[in-house]
Amino acid sequence: MKLATWNLECGGRTLRARAAQEEALRELGADVIALTEPPATYRDGPGVVASAALRSGVAGFESWVAVVGEKVEPIPLEVPYERMAVAARASVGAASVIIYCAVLPWLTVASHAPYLVRAGEDSMAVFTRVLAEQLRDVAELRQRFGDRVVWAGDFNQTFSGPLWGGSAARRNLLEKALASIGYSPWNESANHAKPGMHAVDLICGPSDWTVSAQGRIDPKRDGVEMSDHAGYWVEIAAPG
């Protein structure tokens, strides 16, 4: 099974950028893609499970996240809009996984998305709370569906390399959260769009799963800046 994640927001709202994004995703041929900050064209329907379209965007209201694939279907998990997450089941033949696609709060969340911030919280407190909420969702999914849950999306924090755009405290919290459920960030050392920086868009799953291959979607294509994030993919031997 080929799994991918990509943040499509920054730089990706021109017609040329959108066309280049779609072409890159078609060529990638992933079985399931965890998209973060997707455009308004990604709405709930056949092959798409998206969070509520309540985020104000350039071309109308958009979702925070969407899980996309030929055989993707919703599962019953009530996730508040402010948690910036959605869960879906993805199948390839007899194999299936549960994808929990999410965004974690970034350093400037208080000014960019004040509705995500509760009274008295600073940026670190928002990150800590939402991470704990998402971790509980993943734990619930694992309890219901067993060891078949993948947590992917824009974690807004590197797991290795420079701490640009994050902090040592956030990395430590994220490391402890994943370790508590026996998960690893499979693409942690992949290159970010920013030279010298590692990925913040991560695909995480059980540490004992086999990742047979992985790669990266370059954020620029034929001179077009598709996003300020690179995309990432992994191939795994998914359980049947």
Residue 192 is classified by DSSP as P
CATH of domain 2-236: 3.60.10.10
Query: Cα separation of 119 and 237, whole Å?
Result: 44
Q: Which DSSP state fits 117?
A: P
pLDDT of residue 144: 93
For the chain (240 residues), the mean pLDDT of every run of 10, in chain order, is: 92 80 95 94 92 83 94 93 96 90 96 93 97 97 92 97 95 98 97 95 95 96 92 84
| Whole-angstrom distance, CA of residue 227 vs CA of residue 157 | 17
Per-domain boundaries in the chain = 2-236
Tokens at 185, concatenated: 């960030």
222: left (phi > 0), else alpha (psi -120 to 50), else beta? left
Q: Which residues contact 96 (CB under 8 A, 6 or more apart)?
A: 89, 90, 148, 238, 240
Q: Residue 93: what pLDDT?
A: 83
Which residues is 68 bridged to in the sheet? 33, 48
Note the pTM of the prediction, 2 decimals: 0.95
According to the model, what pLDDT value does residue 146 have? Answer: 84
Tokens 């709405």, located at residue: 43
Other Cβ atoms within 10 Å of 16 Cβ, number: 14
Residue 214 has a pLDDT of: 97
